[in-house]
Structure 1
Amino acid sequence: MANKTVATEASVETYLAAIDPAQKQEDCREICAMMERLSGHPPKMWGPSIVGFGEYHYKYDSGREGDFLRIGFAARAQNISVYLLPGYDDFSDELSRLGKHKKGKSCLYIKRLSDIDVDVLEEMIVKDLKIMQEKYPE
C-alpha cells in the first residue's frame, strides 16, 4: 500500500495566492521561502494542500513503501501545520523556546509567525533536515 499523499504538478503559487486571510498567506509565503532556502529544494505540492521540499523513499518492515516530502507545511483552517517528520523526541529544547504552538503526531501547529520565535523554527527545520538526511540519504 502506497502513501495517499503524493507529489503533484499543481502550482504552489496558486495554492499560496488562495490562502485567506492575508496574514496567514504572508506567514505561509515566509515559511515557504525559509524552507526553500534551508532545504535547497524548490517547493512542490503534495496532494491538494501540502507544500513540500525534497523527498525521500521509505520502506517499512511490513512491506509498505513510498515517497514523501522531507519537510513541508500546509495552511489549515485554524493553524499552519509545519511537518517535522522525525517526530518530537529530538526537539524538546527547541519546543521549550519556540513560543505558542501545539503538537500533532508529526505536525507542529502554529497560529501565526508572530506567536513564535522564527529563529527557533529555523533551527528546528535545519535539525529536521539533518536527521532526515542521516536516516534517508538523498
Structure 2
Amino acid sequence: MAEIKTKPTPVSVAAFIDAVENPVRRDDAKAVCAMLERITGEPPKMWGASIVGFGSYHYKYDSGREGDMCRLGFSPRKAELVLYLLTGEPDEAEKLARLGKHRTGQSCLYIKKLAEVDLAVLEAIARDALSHMNRKYPQN
C-alpha cells in the first residue's frame, strides 16, 4: 500500500501563504486561514505540500485503509482557492445557492475570489462542516 502523502508537516503556514504569487489569492488565503482558525479553535498546520488544515481526525475505510486528515482545510491553488469542507448535508445546497460565484467538487468548494462570495454564508458552511465532522468523528 502506498504511503499517504497528505500528513502534517513542520512547514510554516505563514511562509507557505506568503509565497503564494497571486496577491489576491494570497490575501484571500490569509482571510480564510483566520476564519477557519477562529471557527475551529485550532492553529493552522500544513498537511502535505499544499493544504492548510485545522484539527485532525482518524478515518478507516471498509477496505482496511486508514489514516489521519485535517477536519477542515484549504489550499490556495494557482487558479482558485480550494476549501475542503463540503459535506453533502441536506441544507448545504441552500447555502451554496446563496454563496455567490463558486463551483463544487466531491467535497471541495472552489472560489476564484473571496470578493465574489458572501463571507457570512461561507462561514456558515464552514461551521456546518465542522459540526458534521465532530458528529461523524468525535474528538477524544
TM-score by length of 1: 0.95
Aligned partner letter, 1:52: G
Matched to 2:12, the amino acid is S
CA distance in 2, matches of 1:4, 1:24: 24
Post-superposition offset of 1:11 = 0.5
Higher mean alpha-carbon deviation, 76-85 vs 119-128, is at 76-85
CA 1:75–1:50: 2 relative to 1, 3 Å: same
Find the counterpart in structure 2 of residue 111 from structure 1. Answer: 112
Per the alignment, residue 127 of structure 1 pairs with: 128
Which residue number in structure 2 is paired with residue 24 of structure 1? 25
Who is 2:96 aligned against?
Answer: 95
Task: Give secondary structure in 1 for the equivalent of 2:74.
Answer: strand
Alpha-carbon separation, structure 1, partners of 2:62 and 2:23? 44
Aligned residue in 2 for 1:6: 7
| Aligned counterparts of 2:137 and 2:119: Cα–Cα separation in 1 | 26
Q: C-alpha displacement at 1:32, in angstroms? A: 0.2
CA distance in 2: counterparts of 1:10 and 1:118, whole angstroms = 28
Residue 50 (1) aligns with residue 75 (2): no
Q: Do the aligned partners of residues 65 and 127 (structure 1) sit closer, same or farther apart at CA in structure 2, a change above 3 Å counting?
A: same
Counterpart residue number, 2:74: 73
- CA distance in 2 between partners of 1:77 and 1:85 (Å): 21
RMSD: 1.3
- 1:36 aligned residue: 37
Equivalences, count: 138
Distance 1:137 1:85 in 2: 18
Deviation at residue 90 of structure 1 after TM alignment:
4.6
TM-score, reference length from structure 2: 0.94
Partner SS, residue 10 of structure 2: coil
Gaps of 5+ in 1: none
Structure 2: how far apart are the matches of 1:102 and 1:27?
Answer: 17
1:114 and 1:84 map into 2 onto residues whose CA distance is 19
1:41 is displaced (CA, Å) by 0.3
Q: Aligned with 2:9: secondary structure?
A: coil
Q: Is the 8 A contact 2:73 2:84 kept in 1?
A: yes
